[in-house]
Amino acid sequence: MDPVTPARRRPLLAFALGLLTAGMSHAQTDDAGGEVRIKAEFLYKFTAYVDWPDGALGAIDAPFVIGVQGSEAMLGELSQTLQGRTVQARPVQVRRVRAADADPAVHLLFLAQGETASARRGLLLVSEGASGEASPRAGAIQFLVVGGRVRFDVLLDGAERAGLRMSSRLLSVAHKVHAAAR
């Protein structure tokens, strides 16, 4: 059997993300636990399709840190789901972030509905939306429940402000992509 080379790995990852997002985006969110599980898997998968600015992830042996603000359920789900996993060959750490934390040392920050945080370079902000429309202050990615299904919008302004580049594969599976203002 041929080894999977980096050139062959990207299409395989894209195919896997497509299958995952197709299944997840069509998954019914009848129970809160199911919705949290779906969002936790999305959060992890997003990391494979976002490029952080040089130096934003720190030393090569530093962990990739995911922060959670305002949701104990998400904190618990991510801690359990991501145990032993890696992002860009770095071990994943999950930690609680409080609104009062001036500049949390995290690479990805999940904001529960109603929570806010300041954007900064190298921080992927992922928020929960209150309705079927993304808020312009939502960060780079916003979860929405549309027709009883978990979906996500990508807000290119938020990504650009953070110096993040979103893969075209991620953009192709988003519910909506909101263009950057020029």
Q: What is the pTM of this model?
A: 0.81
Distance, in Å, from the CA atom of 67 to the CA atom of 61, rounded to the nearest integer, reads: 19
Contacts within 8 Å (CB) and 24+ apart, 110-115: 110/39, 110/43, 110/66, 110/67, 110/68, 110/69, 110/71, 110/74, 110/78, 111/69, 111/70, 111/139, 112/68, 112/69, 112/70, 112/71, 112/74, 113/70, 114/70, 115/69, 115/70
99-128 pLDDT per residue, tens: 878 778 999 999 999 898 888 899 999 999
11-38 pLDDT per residue, tens: 444 444 444 444 444 444 456 679 999 9
pLDDT band of 91, cuts 50, 70, 90: very high
141-152 pLDDT per residue, tens: 999 998 889 999
Q: Give me the residue spans of the domains in the chain.
A: 6-178
Check residue 22 and give its pLDDT.
Answer: 44
Check residue 103 and give its pLDDT.
Answer: 75
Which CATH entry fits the domain spanning 6-178: 3.40.50, 3.10.450, 1.10.357, 3.90.320?
A: 3.40.50
